[in-house]
Amino acid sequence: MLERIRIILIGTSHPGNIGGVARAMHNMGLADLALVAPRCEVITQDSISRASGADHLLHQANVHATLEDAVADCTLAVGASARSRTLPWPMLSPRELADRLPTECQAADSRVALVFGREDSGLTNAELQRCHAHVHIPTNADFSSLNLAAAVQVLAYECRMAWLNQADSQANAPAPVPSADDALATHAELERYFEHLERTLIGIGFHDPDQPRQLMARLRRLYLRARPERMEMNILRGILSATEKAANTKPPKP
């Protein structure tokens, strides 16, 4: 289970924090670290010293240009946020998130992403809207923002506790493994669907990109809440293609 959990840091600006995250992860048995457009060097004296012996995680970290690239193969993405945002999104406590992990990580090709934001400005609305759910670590409402590595530590600890509890209960009854037929759509498949949906809605005159009125954000929230399976995603894309064809808006094949 722990190897299916990816920690993603977006736009980090202090190498020491990245080192602190590596240490927090290795302490809790997590190893998959991804960095999206870091705003500092990753391997520095500071990051290595804060990693305190977990610097192999820094060397093997994958660096991506965009969040989409970092979550492309993920079946669940959860954004960690210190603040509440304009459009309410499904919210989890760290414990509720951890309780879901054993089931979420059962299928062989499942991947869970925990996404963390910038030290100065957190995650943007667009980034949060790419996540199925948000997790908030309950803190003093007047002083809610944790240091990045401290926030990773809290969630990594909850992951480990869920894994330890699972190991205990598995000794009694092994959980059934889901079949490949009901594999969840990956993030990349969902993104392709959202692009196709937006194109179709513009084509049939339902959506005006100059007056978006959060339509795509609301639709994202709906589909992410439904957790479509790959097969269902194919049906929905087929419906879009048929809609485009019927409305004669399908772009010609290059």
Question: Is residue 11 at the binding interface for ligand SAH, with CB under 6 A as the rule?
Answer: no
For residue 9, the minimal CB distance to ligand SAH (Å) is 8
Q: Please, are residues 74 and 190 in contact by the beta-carbon 8 Å criterion?
A: no
Task: Work out whether 122 is an interface residue with ligand SAH (CB under 6 A).
Answer: yes
By beta-carbon proximity to ligand SAH, the closer residue of 16 and 185 is 16
Examine residue 12 and tell whether it contacts ligand SAH (CB under 6 A): no
- E strand or H helix at 172, and its extent? none
Concatenated DSSP letters of 174-226: PPPPPPGGGPBPPHHHHHHHHHHHHHHHHHTTS--TTS-TTHHHHHHHHHHHH
The footprint of ligand SAH on this chain (CB under 6 A) covers a number of residues equal to 20
Neighbours of 33 (CB within 10 A): 23
Catalogue the long-range contacts made by 153-157 (C-beta closer than 8 Å, 24 or more residues apart).
153/24, 153/27, 153/28, 154/94, 155/80, 155/94, 155/97, 155/114, 156/7, 156/24, 156/25, 156/27, 156/28, 156/30, 157/28
d(CA 84, CA 134): 9
Assess 123 for contact with ligand SAH (CB under 6 A). yes
What's phi and psi for 9, nearest 5 deg?
Answer: -110, 125
Residue 67 is a binding residue for ligand SAH (CB under 6 A): no
Considering the complex, what minimum distance in angstroms separates the CB of residue 89 from ligand SAH?
Answer: 13
Least CB distance to ligand SAH at residue 98 (A): 14
Of positions 139, 165, 169, 241, contacts ligand SAH by CB under 6 A: 139
State the Cα torsion 154-187-230-251 to the nearest 10°: 160
Specify the residue, 54 or 155, whose C-beta has the smaller distance to ligand SAH: 155
Tell whether residue 136 is a contact of ligand SAH (CB under 6 A): yes
DSSP 8-state class, residue 78: E
Q: Residue 106, interface with ligand SAH (CB under 6 A)?
A: no
User: What type of residue sits at position 45?
Assistant: Q
Question: Could you tell me which stretch among 79-87, 98-106, 175-183, 206-214 binds ligand SAH (CB under 6 A)?
Answer: 79-87
Task: Work out whether the CA dihedral 53, 70, 158, 149 comes out positive or negative.
Answer: positive
Stretch that binds ligand SAH, among 24-32, 104-112, 119-127, 227-235 (CB under 6 A): 119-127
Is residue 162 a contact point for ligand SAH (CB under 6 A)? no
Residue 151 touches ligand SAH, criterion: CB under 6 A: yes
Could you tell me which stretch among 133-141, 199-207, 213-221, 246-254 binds ligand SAH (CB under 6 A)? 133-141
The binder of ligand SAH chosen from 80, 105, 159, 184 (CB under 6 A): 80
Task: Give the residues lining the site for ligand SAH (CB under 6 A).
Answer: 80-83, 116-117, 119-123, 135-137, 139, 144-146, 148, 151
